[in-house]
Chains A and B, each alone.
Chain A
Amino acid sequence: MRNRWNIKVEVLGVALAILWLLPFYLMFVNSFKSKKEIFLDTTSPPEAWSFDNYIVAFQELDFLRTLFNSLLITVVSVVLIVLFSAMAAYALSRAKSKISTILFFLFVSAMLIPFQSVMIPLVTVFGQFDMLNRGGLIFMYIGFGASLSIFLYHGALNNVPKSLDEAAKIDGANRWQVFWHIIFPILKPITVTVAILNIIWIWNDYLLPSLVINTTGSETIPLKMFFFFGEYTKQWHLALAGLTLAIIPVIIFYFFAQRSIIKGVSDGAVK
Chain B
Amino acid sequence: MRTRDLSYWLFLAPVLLALALVVVVPMLLGLFYSFTAWNGIQTGEFVGFQNYLNLFKDERFLDSLWFTTKFSVVSVILINFIGLSLALIVTSKIKTSSLLRTTFFMPNLIGGLILGFIWQFIFLKVFASVGEAVGMESLQAWLSTTETGFWGLVILMSWQMAGYIMVIYIAYLEGLPKELIEAAEIDGASTVQRFRYIIFPLVAPAFTVSMFLTLSNTFKLYDQNLSLTAGGPYNSTEMVAMEIFKTAFVQNAFAYAQAKAIIFFLIVAIIALVQVYINKRREVEM
Contact B119 A23 (CB under 8 A): yes
Interface-side segment among A51-59, A61-69, A186-194, A260-268: A260-268
Q: Which residues of B contact A13 (CB under 8 A)?
A: 89-90, 94, 96, 100
- Residues of A participating in the B interface, judged by any CB pair closer than 8 Å: 2, 5-6, 9-10, 12-14, 16-17, 20-21, 23-24, 26-27, 30, 38, 41-43, 80, 84-85, 87-88, 90-92, 94-95, 97, 99-100, 103, 106-107, 110-122, 124-125, 139-140, 142-144, 146-147, 150, 175-176, 179, 200, 203-207, 221-222, 225-226, 229, 236, 239-240, 243, 246-247, 250, 253-254, 258, 261-262, 265-266, 269-270
Contact B1 A94 (CB under 8 A): yes
Contact B11 A225 (CB under 8 A): no
Contact A114 B268 (CB under 8 A): yes
Partner of B261, one of A119, A229, A247, A258: A119
Contact B15 A114 (CB under 8 A): no
Contact A117 B261 (CB under 8 A): yes
Whole-angstrom distance between the alpha carbons of A15 and B253 in the complex?
50
Number of interface residues of B (CB under 8 A): 90
B251 on the interface (CB 8 Å rule)? no
Partner of A6, one of B93, B101, B254: B93
10 pairs of residues in contact across A and B, judged by CB atoms under 8 Å: A9-B92, A13-B94, A14-B100, A20-B103, A23-B122, A94-B1, A121-B33, A226-B227, A265-B164, A269-B167
Q: Which residues of B contact A90 (CB under 8 A)?
A: 11
Q: Which residues of A contact B18 (CB under 8 A)?
A: 84, 139-140, 142-143, 146
Q: Known interface pairs A10-B95, A120-B248, A222-B113. Does A270 touch B22 (Cβ–Cβ under 8 Å)?
A: no
Contact A117 B114 (CB under 8 A): no
Within 8 A of A (CB), among B254-282: 254, 257-258, 261-262, 264-265, 268-269, 272-273
Contact B118 A27 (CB under 8 A): yes
CB distance from B173 to the nearest CB of A (A): 11
Interface-side segment among B23-31, B50-58, B146-154: B23-31
Q: Which residues of A contact B172 (CB under 8 A)?
A: 270
CB distance from B73 to the nearest CB of A (A): 18
Interface-side segment among B2-10, B59-67, B176-184, B196-204: B2-10
Q: Which residues of B contact A205 (CB under 8 A)?
A: 111
Contact B86 A16 (CB under 8 A): yes
B244 on the interface (CB 8 Å rule)? yes
Whole-angstrom distance between the alpha carbons of A233 and B46 in the complex?
44
Whole-angstrom distance between the alpha carbons of A225 and B100 in the complex?
29
Q: Which residues of B contact A14 (CB under 8 A)?
A: 96, 100
CB distance from B220 to the nearest CB of A (A): 5
Whole-angstrom distance between the alpha carbons of A5 and B94 in the complex?
10
- Residues of B participating in the A interface, judged by any CB pair closer than 8 Å: 1-3, 5, 7-8, 11-12, 14-16, 18-19, 21-27, 29-30, 33, 40-41, 86, 89-90, 92-96, 99-114, 117-119, 121-122, 125-126, 129-130, 159, 163-164, 167-168, 170-172, 191, 209, 213, 220, 222-223, 226-227, 240-241, 244-245, 248, 254, 257-258, 261-262, 264-265, 268-269, 272-273
Q: Known interface pairs A23-B118, A147-B19, A265-B108. Does A118 touch B125 (Cβ–Cβ under 8 Å)?
A: no
Whole-angstrom distance between the alpha carbons of A217 and B160 in the complex?
30
CB distance from A250 to the nearest CB of B (A): 5
Whole-angstrom distance between the alpha carbons of A142 and B7 in the complex?
20
Partner of B113, one of A21, A119, A225: A225
Residue among A90, A110, A112, A226 with most chain B CB within 10 A = A112
Partner of A87, one of B11, B26, B114, B269: B11
Contact B213 A269 (CB under 8 A): yes
Whole-angstrom distance between the alpha carbons of A142 and B18 in the complex?
6
Whole-angstrom distance between the alpha carbons of A71 and B3 in the complex?
37
Contact A84 B118 (CB under 8 A): no
CB distance from A59 to the nearest CB of B (A): 19
Contact B30 A270 (CB under 8 A): no
Closest to A111 in B: B272
Closest to B271 in A: A112
Partner of A122, one of B22, B101, B118: B22
The list of the 9 closest CB pairs from A to B, nearest first, reads A143-B22, A204-B111, A91-B11, A143-B18, A117-B265, A118-B26, A121-B26, A142-B18, A84-B14
